[in-house]
Structure 1
């Protein structure tokens, strides 16, 4: 029985490796490219990809390359921290966009990263590197800073002891500067991210809370500019959106917004 469980677990991890390879590249891949990215034999990837394609989890394009299938999207849409949260937040995200015409984003924390679950923008919005369903280091975005400011201590310390990625010359240079930004975010009730991810974009973000006060998400708006003054006038609108979303999720009868134990572990 133990050997059977070990084999089954190993097979599962191989499937996850194939899916993760496609997720990382975000583009169609050949079987050989998937095998290299996943670190698996080509014959194994061929079998797994065939099974996933038959199930609907993968699709093949006209050139024979594999990409994520619609069935994966169907499964992902059942996650309450993505679709359920977006449903509750959407009216407020739309109002925030109409008030600012900036890039409006909604994100949640997973481990030491932020995942954007919704993104609204228009023709006049400043172009950003971020998009929905993307993971990024928390210190480099407004949403991430708002979430990190209220993260458990083990998560905070893990982020502070890691080498901070630099995307622009304005990216936070060290843990001391990051601690000061997070202290400001806790004191003010909102976080400002000044050109840390995109060299001409500034964002302001506010946390979204449950009835018990737990921070489960954050909302932000990004505009073109330089320095905190570029977003000062949008602070009230962002705070209003965060309060509205918080009230809306508080009406949900089931605790679908709480963070799972996996998300707060330090390992």
Structure 2
């Protein structure tokens, strides 16, 4: 898994890589499988796995000799985090109405650092399967939800984001200038659009959710095949999405 970031703490890097592998596998994995996928020596993978077992970050799969799966600690942490997000239970009835109005998969995303993470999802029946799942993180500037949130931030905050994502080299590069214009348009229209940026032939329309102080705290988005998402269709669908986001905003303290 060479696409994982390497830091000055290789043991942590290895543990994160192994967690990713275990969480994405549909079945328990043997140590040799984990070692091969992670690109780690078996001795290193074994040492990291043993430490993860001690902390319940990994677990031995029941009934299968020496195979590993995600540990109970991960579920405890995820449940604890989601349990503190009062926005999630409020999202579901609103998303159910929105799903029935536009017949699209509906997502709720929260900002975490320079990324957005999907924390809730409601699938519409008989729609295309999208590579969007609870827990998926995406750069803000490549997702409709992230753009909706970023557009509501101040110019200094946006510039800080550009620097953090290496989108500024001396001055604003063409990509950054296009993003600035995109954010201005999103702020003016009240919704953001992304097409073919996270997944080929997939687009999203997102609207901002704010708290009672007007601060951006989340975004509601709907997924479409890229061919369906024109400027006109985005404008049409945005009316329902913006209304849903306003309803959710009214429930957020």
Under TM normalisation by the shorter chain, which class is it? 0.7 to 0.9
Kindly report which structure 2 residues correspond to 1:236-251, keeping only aligned pairs within 5 A, or say none: 236-250=239-253
CA offset at residue 66 of structure 1? Answer: 2.7
Alpha-carbon RMSD: 3.0
**Aligned twin of 1:199:** 200
**CA distances 1:160-199 after superposition (whole Å, capped 9, x unpaired):** 35467xxxxxxxx711111111001111221122333333
Q: How many residues align?
A: 230
Counterpart check, 1:113 vs 2:109: no
Match of 2:93 among 86, 91, 94: 91
CA 1:200 to 1:43, structure 2 compared with 1: closer, same or farther past 3 Å?
closer
Kindly report which structure 2 residues correspond to 1:9-158, keeping only aligned pairs within 5 A, or say none: 16-25=12-21, 26-27=24-25, 30-31=30-31, 43=43, 45-53=45-53, 55-61=55-61, 62=64, 64-80=66-82, 83-151=85-153, 153=155, 156-158=158-160
Query: Which blocks of at least 5 consecutive residues in structure 2 are unaligned?
Result: 1-8, 168-173
**CA distances 1:75-120 after superposition (whole Å, capped 9, x unpaired):** 2111158753311222112211111110111101112211111121
**CA distances 1:22-71 after superposition (whole Å, capped 9, x unpaired):** 34333355546656888987556535533533553312343634332233
TM-score, normalization by structure 2: 0.76
Partner Cα distance (2:84, 2:159) in 1: 26
TM-score, normalization by structure 1: 0.72
Contact 2:92 2:122 in 1 (8 A): no
Partner Cα distance (1:98, 1:208) in 2: 20
- Farther-moved stretch of structure 1 (83-92 vs 113-122): 83-92
Partner Cα distance (1:102, 1:156) in 2: 30
CA offset at residue 72 of structure 1? Answer: 1.2
Contact 1:142 1:204 in 2 (8 A): yes
